[in-house]
Amino acid sequence: MKPLTPRFDSEAIEPPIDPYLPQNGNRGFKVSRYELELEYRVSANRLAGKATVSAVTVSPLQKFSLDFGPALSASKVTVNGSRASKYTHRDGKLTISLSKPLATGAPFVVVVAYNGNPQPIRGLWGQVGWEELTEGSLVASQPNGAASWFPCDDHPSSKASYRISITTDSPYFAVANGTLVRKQTKSSRTTWVYDQPEPMASYLATIQIGPYEKHTIQSETVPISAVLPSRLLPSYAHDFGRQAEMMDVFVRLYGPYPFADYTVVVTDDELEIPIEAQGISTFGANHCDGTRRYERLVAHELAHQWFGNSLTLGRWRDIWLHEGFACYSEWIWSENSGGPSAHSRATRAHALQAALPMDIVLADPGPESMFDDRVYKRGALAVHALRRKVGDEKFFALIQEWTDKFRYSTVVTADFTDLASRYGTTAAFWDPWLNGTRLPKMP
């Protein structure tokens, strides 16, 4: 069937903010802060919450939406202290109407009381967001799962500070982004309050609940904590034993660690892949087996704190800026820890990639392919080609300027290539790596 020609007249629907997630993101305002007060019953998977969303209008506003998953129900909505004149919740959107419009530049506060049994958001990439464990729960929201547990502007270009309070059954340990500022136990329930002052994309917000203990790891540069079941501690000591050294290497090469501390959570369940959140990485029990065979993933997730969490893509087509640098960091760690050099790793990866189908464009892989392993590996190869092109001195100076200049910002590919042009690259260098389907030769 021939596709319809899109209309952009007064009756047409506005084009999506991001074609990769056309249902996500919202217009008319910019969120500055989320304050979440949550109560969770582990055995019943029952969540009750109050989300206070502080924002500023960017255009006159009388009707607006927040992303909000279908498994939860709003029971009360207020705007600036007054009940919303009308709100609806359908198709993953909580749409709120005001009795009087807000002018451009007006600050406003939305408070949403809600409850339900949180479920992951289903999409092209499986199920993402709030997920039950055998004992407890985890949140892994990349790319669009934040709406599974709170109403939000669920697009990475929308970054805000957070305060997350989670009350749950006292035997369980609860982790969220930021610094623990208060912990209080009453009867059989414990409240944990975390504050995340640095701007954070909604998909990087997380809560981890389980039968865990917390242990502090020594590092010369950044406080590191491990939160895990006690039975896994001996294996953790070996599998993650070089993590402090890893942190020191990345700080030396990439620039200062962008957050106050770093926490690794290991669940009592097995997970298919580890996942990063801001200031936190989550691994499954299967990644902590005493063999150290997953150490490259430890490096990968740590590197995301710079590439993905501090510097966050402004559109999903540019995911190579996250995954290419995180994958390359596996090779950086290898050559700085007595393993094969980054060039040796790149040479092997290049040979493997050359044998795979060449039908993917690194800087625009399409939503179905944005988590394809070829994006990760070809992204890392593009980074290594850059290093070979400009030399180590310029390469690491560029990376440190990149992480400093765009700290806590959203970025697109052109931001990086424009900066790299000051270090000796041209469009002729970047075009085949980023915009062609064929794998270029290594410089």
Classify strands 86-90 and 126-133 as parallel, antiparallel or unpaired.
unpaired
Contact indicator for 283, 274 with CB cutoff of 8 Å: yes
Spot the catalytic one: 376, 401, 408, 423: 376
Distance CA 133, CA 131 (A): 7
Spot the catalytic one: 236, 301, 328, 330: 301
Residue 215 annotated as part of some ligand binding site: no
Residue 132 annotated as part of some ligand binding site: no
The tokens for 357 are 């189908």
Residue 343 annotated as part of some ligand binding site: no
Distant-in-sequence, close-in-space partners of 245: CB < 8 Å, separation ≥ 6: 337
As a residue count, the chain comes to 443
220 is catalytic: no
Distance CA 433, CA 306 (A): 22
301 is catalytic: yes
Residue 200: which of 149, 234, 155 has the closest Cα? 155
| Binding-site sequence positions for Zn(2+) | 300, 304, 323
Catalytic residue positions, numbered: 301, 376
